Chain A
């Protein structure tokens, strides 16, 4: 959280990490499209490589434009620093592989984005990292799943697809009792709606592709460290408090008490896996973040209007938005998400897959595609796209019905969005079930 006399959120969104360029006077953040940076002399080069000095060497490891973005998201999230990555998935991978290796174990929410579930359930298992999935509201389940080899607890601020609100204070306390950090995917909420570190999370990542960029133009990720986890004393993490042969025996927790995790993630994970962000992408995401407070307020305002419309519509069986009465996370949302529960949610159309398809095809303003968090409104019908191989029983197990439709509400006039939905309902109604 911004501290005493620190600038407020809106000011940090524009200024954190950036100042007029000293060499040119440029006011906007310059785009440094340079792979490498010239050394002053051989001694300077050696001292940069040996972490005796701070500075940029090669853009896979760090870049001046990326650094502004990293500082900015850290400022907004209330963290100590960040690493910009090629995608949100790369940020998740970097977080996990900095802490875990073959034989390690993760406890994760079962209500995850499908890509995260794939990584944990299928891909990392192939590399010897296993995961136990627990329902996010099953507090005893989180505690019971922790093993001696557990390296991480992981959940989403708003789970997929039902927008289960993760009880971060409680899950963080369980993690800390066991000496394990809590990692949170904050993509749907952004720091404008929630700052997970203030509630006890230790690490946060974002798919910056979504609301942070906000314009549907680039793919990127951000991994942020809250800096409060006591790595120096954590028996489970020799990766951070014992000598690392891959960097001259460096003990990261001795080099930086609050930045040990980021040091290793950058000096090992970014160096060796190489999933860095392009400076051009960083620059575009910075343009997005500058207006994040304005956009998120409008996203939420529009979403509330659309949710109210859908909740009252006779062809809608259910709207899954935590601010609505009857949503299982309603009370938690009031506590953790007072500014709103984001702009991505699902509703169930009373009807068949065919009617769901017809509904979506009749929409003119909503764009039918596989993304969320754009300034434009988006829609997808999981039963005919992302989950089309599943029969109705399998869909039900995943919390999806044949009529489930996911919306990502954009910044258009809310009345136009509602008119678009009205038109599509009429078309769907005419299709035989």
Chain B
């Protein structure tokens, strides 16, 4: 679904996947927010399930990513503002906010800025703060392909993820790399990876934001996550009073363990 989202420079075109069904703003809404150099497609199985089980779904492409017009936003705070404006553009006053990695910070910040609009908060593959090693920040600027290779290796914990994402026969390492290359190429912004990583790295208000969130929260962590290690989620989980689910997976939770992720997100949104 295409939406025009109001921003400081006027309305900008944005895309949200609606789970294979027409969007119905009268249903309880779930908003999914992807991570750095990803797009909505990391959430398609979850989005389809919720869209076909009594919810409306907005799995967004953040500005500058794949189908949503750029430029990319440079801070988590700006992305959160944009996300709330996108909800308004879709005539959604309240929604459950679920995000992965960088997207989890966007969901957290949005839930803190507009606590009355967040019915649930689900942070997947997350830690707060979310510092990015200087070597990755540099590599994302100077050699995106090498940065993509490195992040893929850090993000997937096994050579045999079953049952496969989005279906059997997919090689997740190759899929992760190809998705990031496609997102990088889609709008010709060679700095996009660096912009996203910098936004994660510079977001220092996360723990304070957690104190302002009023809705029930859950954290879904990967036991073998090398990008956002579970120990980095401890304090934010305490501040959110969040239920913590630790799965046998790496950072790419939705792809590595789609059934387990569905089960915990269902319980979090119940």
Which residues of A are in contact with B by a Cβ distance under 8 Å? 3-7, 12, 15-19, 47, 50-56, 62-64, 66-68, 70-71, 74-75, 78-84, 226-228, 230, 232-233, 248-250, 254-259, 262-263, 266
Are A67 and B164 neighbours in the complex by a CB distance under 8 Å?
yes
From B148, B160, B179, A17 is in contact (CB under 8 Å) with B160
Minimum CB distance partner of B50 in chain A: A52
Are A250 and B20 neighbours in the complex by a CB distance under 8 Å?
yes
What 5 A-B pairs have minimum CB-CB distances, sorted nearest first? A227-B178, A3-B149, A70-B169, A74-B171, A81-B170
CA distance A257 to B41 in the complex (A): 6
Residues from chain A with Cβ under 8 Å of B166 in the complex: 51, 54, 255-256, 259, 263
Minimum CB distance partner of B158 in chain A: A19
Q: How far is the CB of B100 from chain A (nearest CB, A)?
A: 15
From A12, A50, A258, B52 is in contact (CB under 8 Å) with A50
Are A4 and B168 neighbours in the complex by a CB distance under 8 Å?
no
Residues from chain A with Cβ under 8 Å of B170 in the complex: 70-71, 74, 80-81, 259, 262
Are B169 and A62 neighbours in the complex by a CB distance under 8 Å?
yes
1/0 contact string of B124-165 vs chain A (CB within 8 Å): 000000000000000000000010111011100011101111
Q: A80-B175, A228-B181 are in contact. List 14 more A-B contacts (CB 8 A).
A: A3-B177, A4-B146, A4-B150, A6-B173, A74-B174, A79-B171, A80-B170, A227-B174, A227-B177, A228-B185, A254-B17, A255-B166, A259-B166, A266-B167
For the A-B complex, the count of residue pairs with Cβ-Cβ distances under 8 Å equals: 170
Are B45 and A75 neighbours in the complex by a CB distance under 8 Å?
no
Minimum CB distance partner of A229 in chain B: B182
Are B44 and A17 neighbours in the complex by a CB distance under 8 Å?
no
1/0 contact string of B229-265 vs chain A (CB within 8 Å): 0000000000000000000000000000011001000
Are B163 and A54 neighbours in the complex by a CB distance under 8 Å?
yes
Are B179 and A257 neighbours in the complex by a CB distance under 8 Å?
yes
Q: How far is the CB of A214 from chain B (nearest CB, A)?
A: 21
Minimum CB distance partner of B44 in chain A: A255
Minimum CB distance partner of B139 in chain A: A4
Are B45 and A226 neighbours in the complex by a CB distance under 8 Å?
no
- Whether B67 is near chain A, meaning CB under 8 Å from some CB there, is yes
Are B173 and A3 neighbours in the complex by a CB distance under 8 Å?
yes
Minimum CB distance partner of B160 in chain A: A19
Residues from chain B with Cβ under 8 Å of A257 in the complex: 39, 41, 66, 179, 182-183
Q: How far is the CB of B25 from chain A (nearest CB, A)?
A: 20
Are A12 and B163 neighbours in the complex by a CB distance under 8 Å?
no
Taking CB atoms and an 8 Å cut-off, the chain B residues in 32-63 that contact chain A are 39-41, 44-45, 48-49, 52
Are A54 and B168 neighbours in the complex by a CB distance under 8 Å?
yes
CA distance A324 to B209 in the complex (A): 69
Are B20 and A54 neighbours in the complex by a CB distance under 8 Å?
no
CA distance A5 to B173 in the complex (A): 11
CA distance A90 to B54 in the complex (A): 41
Residues from chain A with Cβ under 8 Å of B178 in the complex: 80, 226-228, 258
Minimum CB distance partner of B59 in chain A: A254
CA distance A258 to B48 in the complex (A): 18
Residues from chain B with Cβ under 8 Å of A81 in the complex: 164, 169-171, 174-175
Q: How far is the CB of B62 from chain A (nearest CB, A)?
A: 14
CA distance A37 to B49 in the complex (A): 20
From B66, B179, B262, A53 is in contact (CB under 8 Å) with B262
CA distance A233 to B181 in the complex (A): 15
With contact pairs A80-B178, A258-B179 given, residues A71 and B158 touching in the complex (Cβ less than 8 Å): no
Minimum CB distance partner of B41 in chain A: A257
- Whether B205 is near chain A, meaning CB under 8 Å from some CB there, is no
Are B163 and A71 neighbours in the complex by a CB distance under 8 Å?
no
CA distance A7 to B154 in the complex (A): 13
Residues from chain A with Cβ under 8 Å of B11 in the complex: none
Sample 14 A-B pairs with CB under 8 A, ordered by A number: A3-B150, A3-B152, A12-B159, A17-B159, A19-B159, A47-B52, A52-B45, A52-B48, A54-B259, A75-B174, A228-B178, A232-B67, A255-B41, A255-B44
- Whether B190 is near chain A, meaning CB under 8 Å from some CB there, is no
Q: How far is the CB of B145 from chain A (nearest CB, A)?
A: 9
Minimum CB distance partner of A231 in chain B: B182
CA distance A47 to B48 in the complex (A): 9
Q: How far is the CB of A229 from chain B (nearest CB, A)?
A: 9
Minimum CB distance partner of A81 in chain B: B170
Residues from chain A with Cβ under 8 Å of B167 in the complex: 51, 54, 62, 259, 263, 266
CA distance A47 to B181 in the complex (A): 30
From A7, A16, A53, A68, B49 is in contact (CB under 8 Å) with A53
Query: Which residue, A50, A71, A82, has most C-beta atoms of chain B within 10 A?
Result: A71
Are A55 and B185 neighbours in the complex by a CB distance under 8 Å?
no
Minimum CB distance partner of B66 in chain A: A257
- Whether B186 is near chain A, meaning CB under 8 Å from some CB there, is yes
Residues from chain A with Cβ under 8 Å of B40 in the complex: 254
Are B171 and A51 neighbours in the complex by a CB distance under 8 Å?
no
